[in-house]
Structure 1
Amino acid sequence: MKYMLLAIVLFLNMQASETKGAQPPSLVKTVKVKEGYANSLQNYVGTLYYDRNSELASESSGVVSKLYAKEGQRVKRGNILLKLESSILEAKLKAKQAILNSFLAQQTKQQKDLKRAEVLINKKSIAQSSYDNTYYTLEALNAEIESHKAELLAMKIELQKKSIRAPFNGIVVKREVDIGEWVAVGSSVFNIIDPKSIEARINVPSRFLKTLSKGQKLQAKIEKKELEVSVKSIVPLADKSSRSFPVKLSFNSQKNLIEGMRIDVKVPTLKKEKVLLVPRDAVIKRFGNFVVFVVVDSKATMIPVSVINYTNNEAAISAQGLKVGMSVVIKGNERIFPNMPVVEKAN
């Protein structure tokens, strides 16, 4: 990989040399490379996993009547995945609604009767007992209606549970049932994952927890591809056999990553080593590798680097050909190329 990158650098240098006459100088801001100390790194192997991995269970019992999803299918939140047989429940619900409608009609009539009774009782045209009978008949109807409404609501909720929906946008990775099968309450029916929730987990010795903190950036590698990860959380539960703690890691790159893949993470130890220090903005990626640009004889020179660690706003690096005191570009490096004429901006 190093030889390939050096070859690319030489090729770009030759290309830039051929066109240097046509290139105007690019304005850049630089700082001097410093020497310092940083925690040495130790590699730990971890595993990728889906943080949102839901095994759906049925809240109702019944026979599977319809299936709307299969393994490998992408689904959106709220999509119906399957339906259980519900014809008997639907018939009972209609009957209950009809009964409720009948009581509501009686309620309307009784409310009108009560209003007429109120007028008559004020005129002393009817006995108090007649008014009371109308009033308490309406109260009894109201209570009966509330009871039927509660029963109807329970039946509607039960009917909703006959349809199992996707809890979030994701992919169906497992289907446990087929049409015609009986499903009991609590039975597993689908397993759905959110591919965007891919994260990593490593286990580190407790002595290294002093060097880690939430939000800290670490360097990692997945299938030879380098990437930056962030410490999402440190789980305060040690493995009794290894005396190590799980550390959860998050990252931006999520393409072509699946659960179970290996990740190698460089974790800072308590040991210090001498390094070169540059601002984090000085380190950028070109051709999938970390590089810095330094100014030599008013021209940009690209140097491949290895990131050892990040300390506050600085990057601890090592690189062949990079020395203390060199001017490294921290602004404008995203638009320059090797051997391009540059002008350093005064601080």
Structure 2
Amino acid sequence: MSSSSSQRPNQPLLLGLVGGCVVLLMVLMMFSGNGRAQQENPALVEQTVNVLPVKYQNTFAKRYRAMGRVESTSQAMVGFERAGRVADVLVEDGQRVNRGDLLARLDTKRIDAQLLEARAALELAIAEARLASISEKRVVSLVRSKLESPQRLDEAKEANNIAQARLAQIQAQLDTLTLELEKSTILAPYTADIVARIVDAGAVVNIGQPIFEIANNATLSARIALPPEVAGTLQIGDLYDLRIGEAAVRGQLLTIGSQRNLRTRTVDTV
């Protein structure tokens, strides 16, 4: 009995402690909610925004990039117009040449000898033709004076005709040999760079066999393969942006190929 009566005075104290804890917890929750509300509602700051008016368009431009190959507008393989042995090659790879410069020549000893013979024959034919013409004129005068027969006049005319024909024949032979001599040299067809020298001196070459590859690099073009649907949107004559290495240039569209590459399914534009 004495033990139960000693525990009763402690119950009000326990209830007071529990109530104080509850009140303290409620105060802490109120302050915590107020701080969170202040963090969730920061001060508003006005900012300037640039706007553009919206315009309706039927189409829009889309940038398309493609790779291509830069090449010379004038590039050719050049050779001799007759067969023979190459006597001299006068230019090297990478050398710049002007139109008409001599690039190489064939051995022309045989043609030179034939030219000397033809020139001598031409001199003889000229003399014979001159003599035949003089003889015909004399016979004409004698026939008019009735000192020669008409038959002799016919013979003189034929002799003169033969001499003139012989002269024309030898002149034609001389012209042919002169042309062959011209074909024994290669002249630069235009101002260009020697891309490659293919044959050296001493080689025997055929007609048209490539001796040099030349290119005029003063004017360049870009060959770019494009899908047909992209190429169809381009206009010949318009300017387009090109980049060669680090250099940016503007190029004019010259042609759009009509033949599609069967392997790549593209068309070439220049």
What TM-score, normalized to structure 2? Answer: 0.75
TM superposition shift of 1:123:
2.8
Quick check: 1:42 aligned with 2:102? no
Structure 2 counterpart of 1:115, one-letter code: K
- Paired residues for 1:208-223 under 5 Å: 208-223=230-245
Structure of higher RCO (CA pairs closer than 8 Å, 6+ residues apart): 1
Q: SS state of the match for residue 178, structure 1?
A: coil
Structure 2 distance, partners of 1:106, 1:83, is 36
Name the structure 2 match of 1:71.
93
Name the structure 1 match of 2:209.
187
Which of the numbers 162, 169, 175 marks the counterpart of 2:191? 169
Structure 2 counterpart of 1:91, one-letter code: A
Structure 2 distance, partners of 1:124, 1:236, is 82
CA contact (8 A) 2:231 2:269 kept: no
Structure 2 distance, partners of 1:235, 1:182, is 40
Name the structure 1 match of 2:173.
151
Gaps of 5+ in 2: 1-54
Structure 2 counterpart of 1:206, one-letter code: P
- Paired residues for 1:11-160 under 5 Å: 38-160=60-182
Structure 2 counterpart of 1:193, one-letter code: A
Structure 2 distance, partners of 1:67, 1:241, is 41
CA contact (8 A) 2:126 2:167 kept: yes
Gaps of 5+ in 1: 1-34, 249-347
Structure 2 distance, partners of 1:112, 1:174, is 60
Quick check: 1:234 aligned with 2:256? yes
Name the structure 2 match of 1:202.
224
Structure 1 segments, 4+ long, off by >6 Å, are none
TM superposition shift of 1:156:
0.8
- Identity of matched residues, %: 23
Q: SS state of the match for residue 62, structure 2?
A: strand
Structure 2 counterpart of 1:109, one-letter code: L
Structure 2 distance, partners of 1:140, 1:235, is 60
Q: SS state of the match for residue 69, structure 1?
A: coil
TM superposition shift of 1:42:
0.8
Structure 2 distance, partners of 1:88, 1:220, is 54
What TM-score, normalized to structure 1? Answer: 0.59
Quick check: 1:243 aligned with 2:265? yes
Q: How many residues align?
A: 214
Structure 1 distance, partners of 2:101, 2:248, is 37
TM superposition shift of 1:38:
4.5
Structure 2 distance, partners of 1:226, 1:165, is 36
Q: SS state of the match for residue 241, structure 1?
A: coil
Distance 1:38 1:116, change over 3 A: farther
